[in-house]
């Protein structure tokens, strides 16, 4: 299998037939063996009935139906698990992505890149509620992860098979796949793609997801930098806290015994005690985290490295 196209959907009944027709034409034009995997994320409209009819007429189409709405990340994960293609394409089901742009992604993959992300130009979304928050989020994600992309939120992406098979998704981490995959030393590229205004249905996204993106970004930053050495972050902060507390305690001891001043009613004494206790707690958390990480990697036999190739002869 050359290509797998993974599409999560939730209540997109009116978009499915035109999406399928455009996608089929684009994929057949590539001349490659392909499969289309559509994951119904607990739709409550007639989306699944439409998918059943399309599936009966086309063996290239696979349909996965969730029992309830688990979210877009879970839908992508299910599609990745089911996929067999050497290259996996992801896109939305709302007709705002153009399947005709898939060859552009494949050209970049053939140039040697492992991940190719779409950059929606010009973006057809409201400025204040969608584009402005997206611009800020893309800048922040790029700065924190070190993987600089203009449009993390674009679902139209291409991945080599080994990338998606080695990335474990949970929460809402699907938008961070290029950054997570970058830990494996992959090559990430970005290409401009077309973007259209939504014709049918309504958007499932809004400003409410901004807080979730920030929390997920913290998770990704921790996973990328400290997942195998939690003692470095917790122990480091704890050590600083403990040393500052000891310093304040030493100063107060000097004031008490050398200068003969009372310190019992000084807030600085409480701060010194708090910092020392906090330091001990953070160092303890770091040690416990190190034990958990050790158990996790040893129990699962999970490697802490990724090999690109081996020359043995």
Indicate the pLDDT class of residue 65, thresholds 50, 70 and 90: very high
Instruction: Judge whether 34 and 7 are in contact, CB under 8 Å.
Output: no
- Return the pLDDT at 250: 92
Indicate the pLDDT class of residue 33, thresholds 50, 70 and 90: very high
Flag the least confident range among 39-43, 129-133, 134-138, 249-253: 129-133
pLDDT in tens, 70-82: 888 889 988 998 9
pLDDT in tens, 108-132: 999 999 999 999 888 877 777 777 8
Q: Please determine, for residue 313, whether its predicted confidence score (pLDDT) is greater than 60.
A: no
Q: How far apart are CA 283 and CA 262, in angstroms?
A: 32
Residue 249, token pair as written in the block: 């305690």
- Return the pLDDT at 297: 65
- Return the pLDDT at 214: 73
pLDDT in tens, 124-158: 777 777 778 888 888 888 888 888 888 888 889 99
Q: Other C-beta atoms within 10 Å of 265: how many?
A: 7
- Return the pLDDT at 192: 93
pLDDT in tens, 274-292: 999 999 999 999 888 888 8
Secondary structure of the chain in HEC code, one letter for each residue: CCEEEEEEECCCHHHHHHHHHHHHHHHHHHCCCEEEEEEECCCCCCHHHHHHHHHHHCCCEEEEECCCCCCHHHHHHHHHHHCCCCEEEECCCCCCECHHHHHHHHHHHHCCCCEEEEEECCCCCCHHHHHHHHHHHHHHHHHHHCCCCCCCCCCCEEEEHHHHCCCCCCCCHHHHHHHHHHCCCCCEEEEEECECCCCCCCCCCCHHHHHHHHHHHHHHHHHHHHCCCHHHHHHHHHHHHHHHHHHHHHHHHHHHHCCCCCCCCCHHHHHHHHHHHHHHHHHHHHHHHHHHHHHHHHHHCCCCCCCCCCCCC
Indicate the pLDDT class of residue 7, thresholds 50, 70 and 90: very high
Max mean pLDDT range (31-40, 126-135, 145-154, 163-172): 31-40
- Return the pLDDT at 38: 94
* Contacting residues for 197 by C-beta, under 8 A, at least 6 apart: 96, 124, 125
pTM: 0.75
């Amino acid at each position: 299998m050359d290509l797998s196209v993974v599409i999560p959907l939730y209540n997109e009944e009116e978009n499915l037939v035109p999406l399928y027709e455009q996608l089929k034409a684009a994929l057949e034009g590539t001349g490659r063996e392909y499969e289309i995997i559509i994951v119904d994320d607990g739709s409550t409209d007639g989306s699944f009935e439409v998918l059943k009819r399309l599936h009966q007429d086309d063996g290239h189409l696979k349909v996965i139906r969730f029992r309830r709405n688990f979210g877009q990340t879970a839908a992508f994960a299910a599609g990745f698990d089911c996929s067999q293609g050497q290259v996996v394409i992801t896109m939305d089901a709302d007709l705002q992505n153009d399947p005709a742009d898939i060859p552009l992604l494949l050209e970049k993959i053939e140039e040697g890149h492992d991940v190719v992300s779409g950059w929606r130009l010009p973006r057809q979304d409201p400025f204040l509620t969608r584009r402005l928050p997206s611009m800020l989020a893309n800048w922040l994600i790029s700065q924190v992860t070190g993987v600089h992309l203009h449009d993390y939120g674009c679902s139209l992406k291409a991945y080599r098979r080994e990338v998606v098979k080695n990335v474990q998704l949970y929460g809402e981490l699907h938008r961070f796949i290029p950054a997570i995959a970058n830990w494996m030393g992959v090559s990430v590229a970005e290409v401009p793609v077309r973007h259209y205004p939504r014709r049918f249905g309504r958007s499932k996204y809004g400003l409410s997801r901004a807080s979730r993106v920030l929390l997920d970004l913290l998770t990704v930053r921790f996973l990328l930098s400290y997942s195998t050495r939690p003692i470095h972050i917790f122990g480091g902060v704890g050590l600083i806290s403990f040393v500052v507390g000891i310093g304040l305690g030493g100063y107060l001891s000097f004031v008490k015994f050398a200068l003969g001043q009372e310190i019992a009613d000084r807030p600085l004494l409480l701060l010194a005690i708090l910092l020392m206790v906090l330091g001990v707690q953070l160092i303890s958390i770091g040690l416990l985290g190190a034990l958990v990480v050790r158990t996790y990697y040893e129990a699962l036999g999970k490697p802490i490295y990724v090999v690109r190739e081996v020359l043995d002869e």
